[in-house]
Copies of this chain bind each other. A is one copy, B any other.
Amino acid sequence: MRGKGALVALLASPSASYTAQQPRPRARRRPTRLEATTLDAKAVKGAPLDIGVEEPARSIDVYATLPPVDIRLLDEQEHDDLPGRTHVINLAKGPPCPDPFALVKSELIPFSDNMKLLVASENPILSQAASHFFEKRHGKRFRPTIVMLLAQALPNAHKDSSEVVFERQTRLGQVTEMIHVASLIHDDVLDDADTRRGGDAIHKMYSNKVAVLSGDYLLARASVLLAKLGHMDVVQVMARALDSLVSGEIMQIKANGAADKKSSEDKNEISEPMNGKRSFLDRAKAALNVGRSQEALQRELAERDAREMELYLRKSYYKTASLICDASRSCALLAGHASDSEVAAAAEEYGYHLGLAFQIVDDVLDFAMDDDQLGKPAGADLSLGLATAPILFAAQDHPELRPLIERRFKGDGDVTMAYETVRASTGMDLARKLAGFHAQRAVDAICRVAPDSEARDALISICYIVLSRNK
């Protein structure tokens, strides 16, 4: 199910149309093929327009975003007889490789030194600001770890020696982290976020001036290093990643802006679709509740649920998955695999699903953690007006959450009410299940093209770590 028909398919799927008032649909057992759902690019108007030159389809328009059955009925272990499925994630059993990060530790030590040098500049304030993330609070180094592990796991198809190729892939890992950090720094300016990664956000520690400039500096350095890799397709893929990060941020402020407008215009009319323009007749009908059967209302609610989930998944792709999946694809390209090769596609698919799983778990943790553990305030996403997977799933059982979602938690007490409701619901469990769906697909993708190796086990184990992390 791809392209134009996807939204219809999504709306018709049991997961999307399920509400508390309806009987649960029966599970489809052991399908011969997993027909997963993708988003319709034209249905979601968040991405900027492109003209003049053709762009390849974004991964989110190619790969699955939701399982083909209601997430409540999904049991990945049922599908272990699927062709090509060589490893089924079993969190109880544990990952095949206990510490995947250890495998590339030696690669990341010079990486760290290099990064310090790369951000070194003669301006002490800027240098301090830019190296802040890399040194004192360098985070998980999640992205360069994935790139380095892929570099080891994927076969080298390049005419140049493995050493030369690996050197380029290392550089790609650095570029990826620089882009990631630059986007964090600029997002902090954008979001007025108070804390990030457990430390003060750069713009609070220094100033907006230094934050904007530090981000620009990292982006500029990343562009230069990327260009020097000398691989045109890689430049193009990574440029798209940068574009995606900005698109994600645009979607975010757009959703917020729309809610601002909405909540001031017609705060009490929550039964209409967001942003929908209505004629006088429509308004009159709505006021009199004429011609609206219970069934029609349910369908409308289901449509809105589906639209919110679409927006959420697309934003998650743009803001998180795109950089990981574009870096993964680039890593395969640097190893000499063609743009249309199975290896490049599988690497991209691995990064795509892993990235979505990562973001979904991140959003679950926003409800799970207190301030100390996560490094940012619990429920912070709600305060930013973000409706993430846990609350969207929770709303299916708790329709009272819908108006709060629609006004982006801007009403008095909305954040607390939403937080408590989600905590008491199955929303977090269902979101984790969706993350599991994506993690399994990431495993499937990498096993399709990488021969059995320690590095492949490490890439599989990363999926375990993403799913089971609780901080």
The verdict on A79 contacting chain B, using a C-beta distance below 8 Å, is no
Partner-contacting stretch, out of A69-77, A222-230, A334-342, A458-466: A222-230
Docked-complex contact A250 and B213, CB < 8 angstroms: yes
Given A48-B121, A219-B219, A253-B213: A53 touches B190 (CB 8 Å cut-off) = no
Docked-complex contact B51 and A122, CB < 8 angstroms: no
Min CB distance A262 to B, Å, is 14
Q: For A250, give its contact among B50, B126, B171 (CB under 8 Å).
A: B126
Docked-complex contact B53 and A225, CB < 8 angstroms: yes
A136: B residues at CB distance < 8 A: none
Min CB distance A182 to B, Å, is 9
Residues 227-255 (chain A) with a chain B CB within 8 angstroms? 227-228, 230, 232, 235-236, 239-240, 242-243, 245-246, 249-250, 253-254
Residues 32-79 (chain A) with a chain B CB within 8 angstroms? 45-53, 55
The verdict on A384 contacting chain B, using a C-beta distance below 8 Å, is no
Interface centre among A50, A52, A192, A223 (most CB of B within 10 A): A223
Docked-complex contact A114 and B51, CB < 8 angstroms: yes
Min CB distance A257 to B, Å, is 6
A189: B residues at CB distance < 8 A: 208-209, 212
The verdict on A220 contacting chain B, using a C-beta distance below 8 Å, is yes
Cα A239 to Cα B223 in complex, Å, equals 5
A46: B residues at CB distance < 8 A: 122
A189's closest neighbor in chain B, by CB?
B212
Docked-complex contact B49 and A121, CB < 8 angstroms: yes
The verdict on A120 contacting chain B, using a C-beta distance below 8 Å, is yes
Cα A239 to Cα B230 in complex, Å, equals 12
The 0/1 profile, CB within 8 Å of B marked 1, for residues 104-144 of chain A is 00000000001001101111111000000000000000000
Docked-complex contact A228 and B217, CB < 8 angstroms: no
The verdict on A272 contacting chain B, using a C-beta distance below 8 Å, is no
15 extra A-B contacts, CB within 8 A, seeds A209-B253, A224-B236, A224-B243: A51-B117, A122-B254, A123-B257, A126-B253, A186-B213, A208-B208, A210-B253, A212-B215, A213-B246, A213-B250, A220-B239, A224-B240, A228-B236, A232-B232, A235-B235
Cα A183 to Cα B240 in complex, Å, equals 20
A188's closest neighbor in chain B, by CB?
B212
Docked-complex contact B235 and A123, CB < 8 angstroms: no
The verdict on A216 contacting chain B, using a C-beta distance below 8 Å, is yes
